[in-house]
Amino acid sequence: MPKKPLLEFTDKGIYCAKGKFYIDPWKPVDDAVITHAHADHAYVGHKHYLAHYLSRDVLYYRLGEINLQTVEYGETVFKNGVEISMYPAGHVIGSAQIRVESQGEVWVVSGDYKTEDDGVCSPFEPVRCNHFISECTFGMPVYQWKPQAQLFEDMNNWWRHNVENNLATVVVGYSLGKAQRIIQNLDLSIGKIYTHGVIENTNEALRRNGVILNPTTRITIDSNKEEVRKGIIIAPPSSVGTPWMRKFQPYSFGYCSGWMAIRGSKRRRAADRGFVLSDHADWNGLISAIDATGCDSVYLTHGYTASFTRYLNDIGFDAHEVHTLYGGEEETPPQPSPEGREQQLNEAQVLSSGEDLGEANKALPFGEGLGGVEGDIL
């Protein structure tokens, strides 16, 4: 009888029967190992959580009181004789690839990852394994990222130009990941950084966790609009098109997303500027990361799984498409038709229901409500 694989794909998530634990389960379980704090990977309701220590305060902030054990990269934990260790995924602060080993069989669950060093989170480290579980959010050749330095030079020039023309500058990005990358790469000689409450709550959680970020100022009902106009405003996708944002008029509005690489995305977002900035690997990043593991087989969990799996098999990998519920945040591709858009939004709302919702009403500047969710990423 063939040996049962160490990890299997179940309707609750990726499961290790021998170790009796799940990785990024989407249904409540006793023992969950978490790759990172994004809502489609870190669900509420598990009895025990294991995560990287830099995910600690964001997990507490998003999930409330949970029973959490944290580890450093490279540290080893045993569960029922199965060895677990974490390695940097380079996706967001605290994100980890989970390495699982038993009797010489090694699996790596990468969660979400990017291969470019963003200078904010620990850079992606390839880990040798027999079986590699990978995302492929941007698994199409059209997705090729520019070096980050070039992108932030464009963003700083745009900001400077807006200040000179007495326009407010609003830049939109996800609250965990993109927001911190933007904050750390802005030219502070131009002005101050202001944040929407949802972004600032995440910054505060990270600072409690010991992360040092550039100074930011939370926008409140008392914020002086003329002062804010000279700075830059970091806002979450959920704030787009809301009265909250309209208070800053006249403004120039920039949207940060990997999808901005496709023509028409900026227009669909009604943005003045589209910045192709993603916390996921681009096409070349995915292939180089998979290749560097030296794996015997690779499993694709979310993104362009069908076409990317076919491509990998064509170039000599043993690739398999698997069904999971991952994909939220930035991970749902834009749909051209109104029907497609509606369907995408419904799915995105379900998948990312933990992402910054609920928080949206806590620190509302100008007393306005917010529409939409961060899952809406057209």
Single-letter code of the amino acid located at 122: S
Residues 45 and 65: beta-carbon distance below 8 Å: no
Distance CA 19, CA 10 (A): 15
Residue 40 or 118 with smaller CB distance to Zn ion: 40
Residue 139 or 191 with smaller CB distance to Zn ion: 139
> What are the contacts of 124-129 at 24+ separation with CB within 8 A?
124/88, 124/89, 124/90, 124/91, 124/281, 124/289, 125/73, 125/87, 125/88, 125/90, 125/97, 126/289, 126/292, 126/293, 127/87, 127/97, 127/99, 127/293, 128/293, 128/294, 129/99, 129/293, 129/294, 129/295
Tell me which residues in 299-328 interact with Zn ion (CB under 5 A).
326
SS3 content of the chain, % helix, strand, coil (to 5): 30, 20, 50
Task: Specify the DSSP element, H or E, that contains 132.
Answer: strand 131-136
Q: Which stretch binds Zn ion (CB under 5 A): 7-15, 30-38, 44-52, 200-208?
A: 30-38
For the bound state, the minimum distance from the C-beta of residue 43 to Zn ion, rounded and expressed in Å, comes to 12
Among the listed residues 38, 56, 62, 114, the single contact to Zn ion using CB under 5 A = 38
**DSSP secondary-structure letter at 167?**
-
Single-letter code of the amino acid located at 73: Y
Residue 255 or 326 with smaller CB distance to Zn ion: 326
Angstrom distances, CA of residue 280 to CA of 54, 112, 202: 19, 7, 20
Total residues binding Zn ion (CB under 5 A): 4
Residue 18 sits in the site that holds Zn ion (CB under 5 A): no
Nearest residue to 236 (alpha-carbon basis) of 250, 264, 257:
257
Nearest residue to 275 (alpha-carbon basis) of 152, 373, 94, 126:
152
For the bound state, the minimum distance from the C-beta of residue 35 to Zn ion, rounded and expressed in Å, comes to 8
Q: Which stretch binds Zn ion (CB under 5 A): 37-45, 196-204, 217-225, 230-238?
A: 37-45
Residue 112 or 376 with smaller CB distance to Zn ion: 112
For the bound state, the minimum distance from the C-beta of residue 288 to Zn ion, rounded and expressed in Å, comes to 19
Residue 40 sits in the site that holds Zn ion (CB under 5 A): yes
For the bound state, the minimum distance from the C-beta of residue 95 to Zn ion, rounded and expressed in Å, comes to 7
For the bound state, the minimum distance from the C-beta of residue 174 to Zn ion, rounded and expressed in Å, comes to 9
For the bound state, the minimum distance from the C-beta of residue 163 to Zn ion, rounded and expressed in Å, comes to 32
For the bound state, the minimum distance from the C-beta of residue 122 to Zn ion, rounded and expressed in Å, comes to 15
Nearest residue to 198 (alpha-carbon basis) of 224, 168, 178:
178
Task: Specify the DSSP element, H or E, that contains 148.
Answer: helix 148-164
Tell me which residues in 96-115 interact with Zn ion (CB under 5 A).
112
User: What are the phi and psi torsion angles at 284 (to 5°)?
Assistant: -65, -35
Residue 168 or 198 with smaller CB distance to Zn ion: 198
Binding mask 108-147 for Zn ion (x = CB under 5 A): ----x-----------------------------------
For the bound state, the minimum distance from the C-beta of residue 27 to Zn ion, rounded and expressed in Å, comes to 16
Residue 110 or 239 with smaller CB distance to Zn ion: 110
Residue 275 or 326 with smaller CB distance to Zn ion: 326
Binding-site ranges for Zn ion (CB under 5 A) = 38, 40, 112, 326
